[in-house]
Amino acid sequence: MSIKTKFAGDKFKVRVEKKVKDSFMRGAVASATDTINGRKNQLTAEMGNWEDWRNHGEEIRKHVLENLDYYLHQFSENVAKNGGHVYFAANAEEANKYIREVVQKKNAKKIIKAKSMVTEEIGMNDSLEEIGCEVVESDLGEFILQLDDKEPPSHIVVPTLHKNKEQMRAVFERKLNYEGSSQPEELALCARKVLREKFLAADVGVIGCNFAIAETGSTTLVTNEGNADLVADLPKTLIVCMGMERIVPTFEEMDVLVGLLTRSAVGQKLTSYVTNLTGPRREGDVDGPEEFHVVIVDNGRSNILGTEFQPVLQCIRCAACINICPVYRHIGGHAYGSIYPGPIGIVLTPLLDGYEGNKELPYASTLCAACTEVCPVKIPLHQLIRRHREIIVEKEGKAPFSEKMMMKAFGLGTSNASLYNMASRMAHSVVKPLTKGDKITKGVGPLKEWTDYKDMPKPNKERFRDWFKKHKGGNN
Amino acid sequence: MKVSLFGTCLVDVLKADIGKATVELLEHLGCEVDYPEGQICCGQPTYNSGYLNETIPAMKRMIDVFADSKYVVGPSGSCVYMLHEYPHIFKDDPVYGPKAKALAEKSYELTQFIVEVMGIEDVGATFNGKVTYHPSCHMTRLLGVKNPPLTLLKNVKGLEFTELPQKEYCCGFGGTFSVKMGRISEKIVDEKVEHVKETGAEYLTGADYSCLMNISGRMERLGVPVKVLHIAQILNSR
């Protein structure tokens, strides 16, 4: 897998059409996001000064991005001091090449993974499978998707958000000969049994990173399943994969951001586990890897630095914007064709992957700004989405010709009084053939997409401005 | 109090009744209303679709048209917010930058103007019926106007107010989104319609005609018998 998922092959409209008809998926998404949003609202309200925390979060992320070179240097120095290895990967190929080399040097065949979106982004699993490794996802959601013929995640925090428990049970039955109920506890127990063996047998662990602490060279991953601890502690070799912007200066800022992350992501004060890793096993340690590698992935991020899109790098991957998005709610994550769906995905995907094949994404937003309002680090998501549209139209020249003509006409009509007066006076009679009673039910051109689903009022016989003139005349 | 009405293009062409109600309401409250004739559209449809160059002349026009007004008041949170976006758009323009800032500072959404500028919480309206209210996204999130419409509605005699479930969710209009992504828009508005039905209200109201046109357009198509009125029409009922 890469940033684009296997669904990206279909045209966006085709994907949407498939997904809006999937009532199971839409039901699962609505119910899961309502639950998460409810818990999140309760927890953020409880704090009493959530806005202050958001400001603080934004301040930390902005500071880090403005001094990213300094903190990356400090972080890598400290990883080395702790006895670990750091590799800077400019792109997916470099990252995969390094990871393969580490794995091959160890003659490793069995890889166990904890949650990491950046390994999805670079397509690490496929790269390791190509050299004959078995890669097992230990995050429960990712585990289920991997079992289900490597279905792509539909959400960055809850990868199986699109599935209900009966569908998950069916996957277990098909792939693991599971005969139990669809009770989440029972399903988890089954996964645990399978995974325990995989943990014990693994040669190399691969783990993601929510935050990398410059001052100590540590990395942090939050989970609710504890699988990250097992991935980090049992295999002899550990590889941490991180996007280059995951840095925080010290544990103090990490503490602030973890609080913002867990509250925003799942409505928890803290996840059950916060796994902090500081280098390989030291003398006297009872567990931990003998070899500790950190792969810092750029893959297009440094091109965003210093541009108007820099705020998107503030993201802490909480998915609050996804959970609140009205579009995501009805089409689910797969329709976006990117491993990063929802508002954050709309902004990030064209930046990392280019506009080619992603140019419909910025239009999959009502610009309602719920994403911007909910973001714990105050990324102006709806503004960045709108800015993508401008680039698609003006720089990339990728807008459809008919739309361009229509927008030019609209631009003229709204800046030229005689044109506007002519068009608005004529509107009532022009649309007459399309009307039924006092409404338009079968539109043409751009109106068609409206009247396919909704009625449209018929234009006024007398424009408001004509009434106003008479009204004023009468008063004088 | 002298007020310049920013009528919005949708009201001018599609729903003159909302403009009439707005004028009558403001006059009833003692305002002297004018309607600068040169106004057309705030430019939001092209601007939000990514056509900035095509929008500049329309925005400059609006800035010039309202240059001499003391207050600019419009019956649409979204369109009024667009005027507040102008200073950001023209921030590097030495001529229109300051003018845009001046326009934004004197522009108000109708209910915001009545409550926050005029200091009126009861407009003396009477309206008999069960009413629910959709708080539109741009008005609440971007313009930051949440309470004024509710304050005014709650003081209307005879009006029984009922809260809309999941009211903060977008109605699915989204400007050109509704004609570019009609299928998604349909699904979003369907959920809104379900919530409107759940309230048992006879009337749905709001302070943005574009959102109301979207919801009522779907309700009419589905045969949902809830009547839709702009908040100015309710506040102008006596």
Least confident segment among A258-262, A316-320, A471-475: A471-475
What Å distances lie between residue B107 and A184, A189, B82, CA to CA? 54, 60, 10
- Is the residue at A363 inside a domain? no
Classified as helix, coil or strand, A474 is helix
Domain match, A46 and A179 both: yes
Q: At which residue do the structure tokens 């965003």 appear?
A: A304
A274 found inside a domain: yes
Last residue of a domain, one of A257, A274, A303: A303
Q: Which of A335, A193, A368 is nearest to B137 (CA)?
A: A368
**According to the model, what pLDDT value does residue A473 have?**
86
Best probe of the A interface among B22, B24, B54, by most A CBs < 10 A, is B54
Chain B, residues 88-107, CB within 8 A of chain A, namely none
Q: Answer whether B51 sits within 8 Å of A407, measured CB to CB.
A: yes
Answer whether B173 touches A (CB < 8 Å). yes
Each residue's pLDDT tens digit, A54-83? 999 999 999 999 999 999 999 999 999 999
Confidence of residue A396 (pLDDT cuts 50, 70, 90): confident
- Whole-angstrom distance, CA of residue B180 vs CA of residue B157: 41
Q: Give B-chain residues touching A369 at CB under 8 angstroms.
A: 137-138, 141-142
**Tell me, what's the pLDDT at A402?**
85
Look over chain A and give the mean of its residue pLDDT values, rounded to a whole number: 95
Helices (H), A136-226: 140-147, 165-176, 184-201
How does residue A474 score in pLDDT terms, banded at 50, 70 and 90? low
pLDDT at B72 over 90: yes
- What is the mean predicted confidence (pLDDT) over A246-268? 97
pLDDT at site A436: 85
Return d(Cα A47, Cα A36) in angstroms, integer: 17
Residue B161: partners with Cβ closer than 8 Å, 6 or more residues away: B131, B132, B133, B150, B153, B154
Least-confidence region, from A79-88, A366-375, A428-437, B189-198: A428-437
A6 pLDDT above the threshold of 90: yes
A390: chain B residues, CB-CB within 8 Å: 50-52
Q: Residue A184: pLDDT band by 50, 70, 90 thresholds?
A: very high
CA distance A136 to chain B (A): 36
Residue A23 belongs to some domain of the structure: yes
Q: Tell me the pLDDT band of A399, cut-offs 50, 70 and 90.
A: confident
Q: Which of A303, A328, A353 is the last residue of a domain?
A: A303
Chain A residues inside the 8 Å CB shell of B19: 464, 467-468
Banded pLDDT at B91 (limits 50, 70, 90): very high
- Inform me whether the C-beta atom of residue A370 falls under 8 Å from chain B C-beta atoms: yes
Question: Which chain B residues have a beta carbon less than 8 Å from that of A394?
Answer: 50-53
Range of the domain at A410: 401-475
Q: Which of A312, A313, A303, A341 is nearest to A325 (CA)?
A: A341
Residues A247 and A136 in one domain: yes
Please determine, for residue B117, whether its predicted confidence score (pLDDT) is greater than 90.
yes
> Chains A, B: CB contacts under 8 A, how many?
191
Residue A476 pLDDT > 50: no
Are A157 and A274 contained in the same domain? yes
Domains identified in chain A, total number:
2
In 3D, which of A294, A215, A296 has the Cα closest to residue A249?
A: A215
ipTM above 0.85, yes or no: yes
The residue out of A303, A337, A364 marking a domain boundary is: A303
Angle, vertex CA A215, rays to CA A212 and CA A219, nearest 5: 25
Cα–Cα distance between B100 and B89 in angstroms, integer? Answer: 9
Residue A377 burial class via C-beta count within 10 angstroms: exposed 0-12, middle 13-18, buried 19 and up? buried
pLDDT bucket at A349, cuts 50 / 70 / 90:
very high
Residue type, A241: C
CA nearest neighbour of B170 among B129, B143, B140, B199:
B140
Q: Touching check for A368 and chain B: CB below 8 Å? A: yes
User: In angstroms, what separates the C-alpha of B41 from chain A's closest C-alpha?
Assistant: 6
% of chain A beyond a pLDDT of 90: 88
Cα separation of A95 and B72, whole Å?
57
Distance from CA of A335 to the nearest CA of B (A): 11
Non-local CB neighbours of B147 within 8 Å, separated by 6+ positions:
B115
* CATH no., domain B122-235: 3.40.50
| Residue A257 belongs to a domain | yes
Residues 35-54 of B with CB under 8 A from A: 35, 37-38, 40-41, 43, 45-54
Q: In this structure, are A188 and A61 located in the same domain?
A: yes
For residues B217-229, give the mean pLDDT.
Answer: 98
Residue B193: pLDDT over 60: yes
Please tell me which residue of chain B has the smallest CA distance to A470.
B20
A431/B contact by beta carbon, under 8 A: no
Domain ranges of chain B: 2-116, 122-235
Question: What does the DSSP assignment read for A389-434?
Answer: HHIIIIIS--S-HHHHHHHHHHHHHTT-HHHHHHHHHHHHHHTGGG
User: Which of B19, B43, B178 is nearest residue A414 as measured by Cβ atoms?
Assistant: B43
pLDDT in tens, A440-467: 988 888 889 999 999 999 999 999 999 9
**Which one-letter DSSP state was computed for residue A59?**
H
Distance from CA of B156 to the nearest CA of A (A): 26
Q: Which stretches does DSSP call E strand in A263-377? A: 273-277, 291-297
Contacts of A417 in chain B (CB under 8 A): 38, 40
- Which helix (H) or strand (E) element contains residue A57? helix A50-66
Find the residue in A nearest to B17 (Cα): A464
Instruction: Find the mean pLDDT for residues A133-145.
Output: 97
In a domain, A359, yes or no: no
The rounded percent of chain A whose pLDDT value lies above 70 is 99
Query: What residues in A contact B5, CB-CB < 8 Å?
Result: 468
Rounded to a whole number, what is the distance in Å from the CA of B10 to chain A's nearest CA?
9
